[in-house]
Structure 1
Amino acid sequence: MAIYKYYSIIDWCEEDQTFNVDFPDLENVITDGDTLHEAITMAEDTLGVMLKSNEDDNIPFNPPSPAKEIHIPEGASLVLITVDTDDFRDDEED
């Protein structure tokens, strides 16, 4: 239905030895990965599934904030994640 772009915050967790991903505009949308590449891939999947589900169920979700309004903790990175919810519908049909 749409292409969405949301900022994520990715930071390294020494205790878990993973890259943690959080979407500051979306409550309880989190994931992680053993590598930075895996964390970004997981972020795309997590965001896409959540947004598709909300679209299908007509559940509203917060719009993305501009980057300048997002607090980035020390040592973390701000990464733009782009998903097309139609791609997640196509996956269901296969």
Structure 2
Amino acid sequence: DQGIAGEYEVVTHHASSGQRAQKITGSGLGLHNQINVFQDTKIDPGKTYTASSRILVESLSNAKVNLTVDYLDEQYRFTGAHYETSQNTTTDG
């Protein structure tokens, strides 16, 4: 959306495992605006998968952090979604 600024950076600190973490900084966000990072993963039908995230909140107030899994068919058409939401009103991480 117009007026929203997002910065994306791979950092070597705050990684919960491995050596790198994805840092996202957003500004100019209003009600119902969002900053996103995506990872496409091909899956095999009939297998069970687990999606998880570890999120360090450095500065956030009156906003939500979501982990969303979108389901797409072979032609990348949206077929459904599942999401988990965390309400954050403090900036204590």
> Could you state the TM-score of these two structures normalised by the residue count of structure 2?
0.31
Q: Larger relative contact order (C-alpha < 8 A, sep ≥ 6)?
A: 1
> Could you state the TM-score of these two structures normalised by the residue count of structure 1?
0.31
Higher strand share: 2
